[in-house]
Amino acid sequence: MPDVVARDGKNVQDEPDSCQPSSGSWYSVYDDTTVTDVAKATIDHMVSLAEAWRSDADAWTAHQRKAFGNDLKDPQLLIASESSNRSKSDSGPADWKPTNRTFRCTYAEDYTHTKSIWKLTTTDKEKSALSSMRDTCTN
């Protein structure tokens, strides 16, 4: 996961002989905050591992689960402030939405994309919540 910290950080300085950066800043789109303490810049799975499991990932091979958990290609892994990640936990859009209202459209689109790419099921409650968030999109 250090790839996400490096990819999504600004002015990231690496700690010598460590996988942990010594300084930098990370933007948390969920709550529109910038984190400067790397210990509080958590990495979130937009579609949580528990949600994926509930959505048919329980039938995946170990290789598929590992690929999903480390997916850097799709909008699946992102930096989130410690508080927003704790608030989201393993919830999906039926039970949680970003406090940053301007990100809700992107969240809905990225969440839907991730579920589609990985062929995960979506409940009616999720679809309704995602549709509501997509209504915030400007064209």
Task: Please tell me the predicted confidence (pLDDT) of residue 139.
Answer: 62
pLDDT in tens, 81-112: 999 999 999 999 999 999 999 999 999 999 99
33 three-class SS: strand
Q: How many domains does the chain have?
A: 1
Q: Return the pLDDT at 41.
A: 87
Helix (H) or strand (E) holding 12: strand 9-14
Query: Is residue 139 one of the residues assigned to a domain?
Result: no
pTM of the model: 0.90
Q: Determine the Cα–Cα distance for residues 115 and 31; give it in Å rounded to an integer.
A: 22
Range of the domain at 53: 2-134
What is the mean pLDDT of the segment spanning 14-29?
83
User: What percentage of the chain has pLDDT greater than the value 90?
Assistant: 78
* 72: in domain: yes
CA 6/CA 37 separation, integer angstroms: 14
